[in-house]
Amino acid sequence: MGLLDGKIAVVFGVANHRSIGWQIALAFAQQGATLAFAAQERVLPEVQKLAATLGEPAVFPCDVQNDSDVPAVFAALGERYGGVDAVVHSLAFANREDVSGRRFVDTSRAGFLLALDVSAYSLTLIAQAAEPLLAARGGGSIVTMTYMGSERVIPNYNVMGVAKAALECSVRYLANDLGPKGIRVNAISAGPQRTLAARAIAGFPDMEKHVATHAPLRRNVEGQDLGSAALYLCSDLGRNVTGEVLHVDGGYNIIGM
């Protein structure tokens, strides 16, 4: 008896085994979900290799900056399963120079638009295409990943903080639009994770150390913590929760000093 027995879940944004999307996929699979993945062309071989360890999940190429890729993923899922129950959005991108050692004030228009397009607009694009498939199953759940840099200034997070603020606000508007169809939309605000994106950040180990010594729970966040939170939001346990930003960060966000 799993919490997601008979459910179809699609995960956007796995790059490798450290990816938050992958940690969530593992938790979902353990609870009986059938998984599918949508990933960037350049990481398809890696994602296919990982997916193969969960049986035979469908893996689709998907560039969220391409208008036809996301609808194509859901069209294929519709043909294969007739509907979808859970959608995980776990992707973001900003130019390296816009999240490292420069001031936010120096962000270019192109860098700003790129970060917001990939990291925030993609959720709305995915929700648009997912709506009929989720509705076909009588409702469902969409979950995205965010970070406290949307609420407070984190050194170097810069334009990503603005993108995450837009993403969190999108969660509320999408939740309001899709609620009448039984579709819930929520975000998980995760403490720092050692993912591919995070490894590119100078000073990341210091951030981890800081959280481990200052968060109320005195520990960092693990993949399984995020898997459990996503499981809650995508299963019947979270049935009356929507438009929410759930902090899974050891309580770090409540600290003033």
Binding site for ligand 0WE (CB under 6 A): 92-94, 96, 99, 147, 154, 156-157, 160, 192, 197-198, 200-201, 207
* Torsional class of 82: left (φ above 0), alpha (ψ -120 to 50), beta (otherwise): left
User: Across 40-78, where does the E strand assignment appear?
Assistant: 58-61
Q: Which is nearer to ligand 0WE, 75 or 200 (CB)?
A: 200
Nearest-approach distance from CB 114 to ligand 0WE, in angstroms: 10
DSSP run (H or E) holding 36 = strand 34-39
252 is catalytic: no
Q: Which is nearer to ligand 0WE, 35 or 190 (CB)?
A: 190
Pairing of strands 8-12, 34-39: parallel
Tokens encoding 234: 């995508």
147 is catalytic: yes
Alpha-carbon distance 207 to 246, whole Å?
A: 20
Q: Which is nearer to ligand 0WE, 37 or 93 (CB)?
A: 93
Contact residues for 217 (Cβ-Cβ < 8 A; gap 6+): 250, 251
Q: Which is nearer to ligand 0WE, 164 or 184 (CB)?
A: 164
Catalytic residue (choose from 157, 173, 232, 252): 157
Q: Taking a C-beta distance cutoff of 8 angstroms, is the pair 203, 219 a contact?
A: no
Provide the annotated active-site residues.
147, 157
